[in-house]
Chains A and B, each alone.
Chain A
Amino acid sequence: MKYYTYFPGCSAEATAIGLGLSVQAIAKPLDMELIELEDWTCCGSTPYGSLDELESICVAARNLALAEKTGLDLVTPCSSCFITLYQADIKLKDHPQLMLQINEALAVANLEYHGNLRVRHLTEVLVNDITPEVITTKVKRPLNGLKVAPYYGCQLVRPDYGFDNPEFPQSLDRLVECLGAEAVPFPLKNRCCGGSLIIPEEDLALGLLRKLLDNALENGAQCIVTPCPLCQTNLDAYQSRVNSKFKTHYHLPVLFITQLIGLALGIDPESLGLNTNLVSPSEVLDYIYNYINYITTH
């Protein structure tokens, strides 16, 4: 059993409830104990930093200080939380003056950060700690033949955390393949989904989403998987808007990587929150439950 301090982030409990549920569901079977950080608050959020960097680092540092006390690595499934917490951590470690300033603020809450923490993304933990080789051995329902487009989004591998190639990432591909599924070539796997621009610049973001959907389908994908709650929301919730704007007929389920792992581990779809996906994954489920079953028994 491996132990981690768990930082769910706001999405995993609301707009991306499927992520939160599936992470919790796969943790035990994969011998991970995710201990939720007590009294965690907002990570600092990605846009905050461009308005007031000091304040956003301060918000992040509160969580870092709390997590440091546990003595375990801090793991988050959310790409935005990861990038915010990770970069705050790096800045604090690199700039002692900033650390002093932030600790002055934290002192009000009787907290202090020393820089002895490792901030990690769940995908990186699955690849490096749990490892695809071990996950394979836990698979109860191999996803043989399922064609999956692994979508990394921009925040998981960029700018460069040293854990995966920012231009040609492979970690999600390895996770997909260790489940028996096929990771299709997906040249746009690390391109922008539109991010928060979906609100102020919807047309622009819909154009970006269309490119992603088109590229995944062109390569034969039956579904897209991603670890990022914002990517998933954009691709999933705005797929019908893409269709009405561009007169297209996309119907491509967008799953969290943890949901796909859960299915392969034999966990029921509802526990993985698959009923909360807006583009119905029923065809994918059909394929997994009926077709694979059929071809393996006949």
Chain B
Amino acid sequence: MDVGEVTRFAQDLDGVVIARDYKFMCSDPGQELIKQDIKELGLNRVVVASCSPTMHEATFRRACQETGINPYLFEMANIREHCSWVTEDKKEATEKAKALVSAAVRRVYYHEPLETREVPINPNTLVVGGGIAGIQAALKIADSEHKVYLVEQSPSIGGHMAQLDKTFPTLDCSACILTPKMTLVGSHPYIELLTYSEVEEVSGYIGNFKVKIRKKARYVDEDRCTGCGLCITKCPWKVDSEFDAGLGKRKAIYTPFPQAVPNIPVIDTEHCAYFLKGTCRACEKVCEAEAIDFEQQDKIVEVEVGSIIVATGFQVFDPTPIYQYGYGRLDNVITSLEFERLVNSAGPTDGEIVLKDGSHPESIAIIHCVGSRDEKYHEYCSRVCCMHSMKFAHLIKEHAEADVYEFYIDIRSFGKGYEEFYNRILSEGTIFIRGRPAEVTNIAETPEEAGKLIVQFEDTLAGLQRRLPVDMVILSCALEAQADAEKTARLFNISRSADGFFLEKHPKLDPVATMTDGIFIAGCCQGPKDIPDTVAQASAAAAEVLAMISKGRVEIEAATAIIDERICTGCQACLLVCPYSAIDFDEEKKVCRVNEALCKGCGACVSGCPSDAINLKHYTNEQIVAEMEGALV
């Protein structure tokens, strides 16, 4: 656009004392220019026409305040995102910019000085999700001697990391590096651990959230249970173990895995004979501590916290819909998570890699990007699959001496030490084939293929269609948002991006905050990531929380609603539409009143009031009408 022309136009508008064109208004010299004009020309209103107020409104408000003008006497016209970036024609853009500037100038005339308010921060924190992200964040905060409530929906903390065998690229034992942290959480004086629990309701606002948590009945008294495990040994009912990805068995009374924190079993009422048929009670008979309590009920725990970290993690993509890969249909086609349990020395086969019939595979194909980088399922790259697939190749060579074929699209080994790990796997004799397989079939075409799984693929480097008979196929499945992510998002009033994961406030500069102040996200619930990134993000979220706690108070929006008690008829329509429960009814005077500490300035009550008795500060009718007139004239 022609900025000079816009400046000349602005100079001639009513009330404008001085209009200036400066290239970097947000820079120190730019701000200095504003301050100088305010002082020398005695200005009492400032309009800046530049980028979005999300970027720099705070900067210019501060400049005004430092010169003695109330920051709310400033207005910003967005002529970048709303104008120059989206308008191709220069003339049109110039005209639109003029309209936006004129609107801002007319609006700012009606601005009134407002005072921002501060509210104290409750120093307690809620962390939702007990995977590595939640554990890390909880420990960081608790170590600074601030109370943390850690809520986990399953019977033990640990999350997916507890299920993994080794971690790439260092090949550390995953459980060995995780369990010390789990134990710390379990015994930390500043952490109140609520496992087998779910958040049911969140109300309040930054610094002052009220949270209702449902603590599901374990049917085991946590105070009495000594964790001896005798009940588990004696329970006669076997069920597929979720922790072992369905490959192993657990009992109807169980802890998910031996190092579970807390080490207190849970009765699975869907499989317990007592709950199904009314008989058995074997666990009760053997429990010397008399901890089994079949009458236990769910409990609702209410806590008050100042900030919340959501770290609810991911789920593994179910490859059943990809019919051509045969998962669920062909034996020995398994997912990456199933392989983690298969190769784990504490897993159902004690780490022996076996086929369904108990024999050992001589050749294994690993298919990358199953459900990732695929428009039909998830367009994104899941970031960890290349690396864990290569880790599998190494573990297979260690455990089974089988040939390993990696079917990849691109190898993405981007992290520290990752490319070196790739080179190491190459040198160990793993065969890498570039090409996404078309199908995995058991229909043999030659005698050599009989009884095998045949991978049909295009080798895109050789330019050939080929078939490869193998004994086992591992599908490196995508990481996807939890099935109940929508519900969780609604519960905490946070947004999701198109891929289903929770949305951060800014993808680059505010990666752990959300659009709801006081609520932070960390780990794979924000997007697929590896353990180092998850831990870094969780620590970042903890730092954000600690910064709030150490300041002790938070500034809240001055643009709140105000009810004119002379006009209010007491119909209470506003009370119904207010999403923040910020309006009370004064029984004595029969009028409604806004609690400014709770009001977020959304304006729902303003449009909902039938007698036009409510006004929103900084968005008054005069201001908005003036703004529209300015844009239209």
A residues whose Cβ falls under 8 Å from a Cβ of B: 165, 167-168, 187-188, 211, 215
| Inter-chain contact A215/B324, CB cutoff 8 Å | no
Chain B residues with CB below 8 A from A165, complex form: 323
Select from chain B the residue with minimum beta-carbon distance to A185: B329
Known: A167-B324, A188-B443; 11 extra A-B contacts, CB below 8 A, are A165-B323, A167-B322, A167-B323, A168-B321, A168-B323, A168-B324, A187-B441, A187-B443, A211-B443, A211-B445, A215-B443
Within the assembled complex, what's the spacing in Å between the Cα atoms of A188 and B441?
10
Select from chain A the residue with minimum beta-carbon distance to B323: A168
Query: Contact string, B319-336, partner A, CB cutoff 8 A, digits 1/0?
Result: 001111000000000000
Within the assembled complex, what's the spacing in Å between the Cα atoms of A215 and B443?
8
Within the assembled complex, what's the spacing in Å between the Cα atoms of A52 and B194?
70
Using C-beta atoms within 8 Å of the partner chain, give the interface range for chain B. under 10
Chain B residues with CB below 8 A from A211, complex form: 443, 445
B residues whose Cβ falls under 8 Å from a Cβ of A: 321-324, 441, 443, 445
| Interface of chain B: mostly helix, strand, loop or mixed | loop
Within the assembled complex, what's the spacing in Å between the Cα atoms of A213 and B322?
24
Q: How far is the CB of B318 from chain A (nearest CB, A)?
A: 14
Q: How far is the CB of A197 from chain B (nearest CB, A)?
A: 15
Within the assembled complex, what's the spacing in Å between the Cα atoms of A165 and B445?
26
Within the assembled complex, what's the spacing in Å between the Cα atoms of A215 and B442?
11
Q: List 13 A-B contacts (CB under 8 A).
A: A165-B323, A167-B322, A167-B323, A167-B324, A168-B321, A168-B323, A168-B324, A187-B441, A187-B443, A188-B443, A211-B443, A211-B445, A215-B443
Chain A residues with CB below 8 A from B324, complex form: 167-168
Select from chain A the residue with minimum beta-carbon distance to B322: A167
Within the assembled complex, what's the spacing in Å between the Cα atoms of A167 and B323?
7
| Interface of chain A: mostly helix, strand, loop or mixed | loop
Within the assembled complex, what's the spacing in Å between the Cα atoms of A59 and B350?
67
Q: How far is the CB of B175 from chain A (nearest CB, A)?
A: 37
Within the assembled complex, what's the spacing in Å between the Cα atoms of A187 and B439?
11
Q: How far is the CB of A152 from chain B (nearest CB, A)?
A: 13
Select from chain A the residue with minimum beta-carbon distance to B330: A187
Chain B residues with CB below 8 A from A188, complex form: 443
Chain B residues with CB below 8 A from A187, complex form: 441, 443
Chain A residues with CB below 8 A from B323, complex form: 165, 167-168
Q: Find the residue from B322, B323, B445 having the highest chain A CB count within 10 A.
A: B323
Q: Find the residue from A168, A187, A215 having the highest chain B CB count within 10 A.
A: A187
Chain A residues with CB below 8 A from B441, complex form: 187
Within the assembled complex, what's the spacing in Å between the Cα atoms of A168 and B324?
8
Chain A residues with CB below 8 A from B322, complex form: 167
Within the assembled complex, what's the spacing in Å between the Cα atoms of A84 and B615?
63
Q: How far is the CB of B81 from chain A (nearest CB, A)?
A: 31
Select from chain B the residue with minimum beta-carbon distance to A166: B376
Q: How far is the CB of B452 from chain A (nearest CB, A)?
A: 15
Within the assembled complex, what's the spacing in Å between the Cα atoms of A168 and B439?
12
Chain B residues with CB below 8 A from A167, complex form: 322-324
Within the assembled complex, what's the spacing in Å between the Cα atoms of A211 and B449?
14
Within the assembled complex, what's the spacing in Å between the Cα atoms of A188 and B321?
16
Within the assembled complex, what's the spacing in Å between the Cα atoms of A167 and B445?
21
Within the assembled complex, what's the spacing in Å between the Cα atoms of A168 and B323?
6
Chain B residues with CB below 8 A from A168, complex form: 321, 323-324
Select from chain B the residue with minimum beta-carbon distance to A169: B323
Select from chain B the residue with minimum beta-carbon distance to A218: B443
The 8 closest A-B pairs by CB, nearest first: A168-B323, A167-B324, A167-B323, A215-B443, A187-B443, A187-B441, A167-B322, A211-B443
Select from chain A the residue with minimum beta-carbon distance to B325: A167
Within the assembled complex, what's the spacing in Å between the Cα atoms of A231 and B321?
26
Q: How far is the CB of A217 from chain B (nearest CB, A)?
A: 12
Select from chain A the residue with minimum beta-carbon distance to B326: A187
Q: How far is the CB of A236 from chain B (nearest CB, A)?
A: 22
Q: Find the residue from A165, A167, A215 having the highest chain B CB count within 10 A.
A: A167
Within the assembled complex, what's the spacing in Å between the Cα atoms of A238 and B324?
28
Q: How far is the CB of A227 from chain B (nearest CB, A)?
A: 20
Select from chain B the residue with minimum beta-carbon distance to A188: B443
Select from chain A the residue with minimum beta-carbon distance to B324: A167
Select from chain A the residue with minimum beta-carbon distance to B442: A187
Select from chain A the residue with minimum beta-carbon distance to B441: A187
Within the assembled complex, what's the spacing in Å between the Cα atoms of A188 and B439?
11
Chain A residues with CB below 8 A from B445, complex form: 211
Chain B residues with CB below 8 A from A215, complex form: 443
Q: How far is the CB of B303 from chain A (nearest CB, A)?
A: 47
Within the assembled complex, what's the spacing in Å between the Cα atoms of A211 and B441?
13
Select from chain A the residue with minimum beta-carbon distance to B445: A211
Within the assembled complex, what's the spacing in Å between the Cα atoms of A33 and B441?
43
Q: How far is the CB of A203 from chain B (nearest CB, A)?
A: 15
Q: How far is the CB of A145 from chain B (nearest CB, A)?
A: 24
Select from chain B the residue with minimum beta-carbon distance to A214: B443
Within the assembled complex, what's the spacing in Å between the Cα atoms of A165 and B322?
10
Select from chain B the residue with minimum beta-carbon distance to A165: B323
Q: How far is the CB of B38 from chain A (nearest CB, A)?
A: 56
Q: How far is the CB of B58 from chain A (nearest CB, A)?
A: 46
Q: How far is the CB of A187 from chain B (nearest CB, A)?
A: 7
Q: How far is the CB of B317 from chain A (nearest CB, A)?
A: 16
Q: How far is the CB of A192 from chain B (nearest CB, A)?
A: 12
Within the assembled complex, what's the spacing in Å between the Cα atoms of A188 and B442?
11
Within the assembled complex, what's the spacing in Å between the Cα atoms of A165 and B323?
10
Within the assembled complex, what's the spacing in Å between the Cα atoms of A211 and B323?
19
Q: How far is the CB of A104 from chain B (nearest CB, A)?
A: 31
Q: How far is the CB of A38 from chain B (nearest CB, A)?
A: 40
Within the assembled complex, what's the spacing in Å between the Cα atoms of A167 and B324?
7
Q: Find the residue from B322, B441, B443, B445 having the highest chain A CB count within 10 A.
A: B443
Within the assembled complex, what's the spacing in Å between the Cα atoms of A215 and B445?
11
Q: How far is the CB of A166 from chain B (nearest CB, A)?
A: 9
Within the assembled complex, what's the spacing in Å between the Cα atoms of A187 and B323?
9
Q: How far is the CB of B376 from chain A (nearest CB, A)?
A: 9
Q: How far is the CB of B442 from chain A (nearest CB, A)?
A: 9
Q: How far is the CB of B322 from chain A (nearest CB, A)?
A: 7
Q: How far is the CB of A215 from chain B (nearest CB, A)?
A: 6
Select from chain B the residue with minimum beta-carbon distance to A215: B443
Q: How far is the CB of A138 from chain B (nearest CB, A)?
A: 31
Q: How far is the CB of B281 from chain A (nearest CB, A)?
A: 44
Chain A residues with CB below 8 A from B443, complex form: 187-188, 211, 215
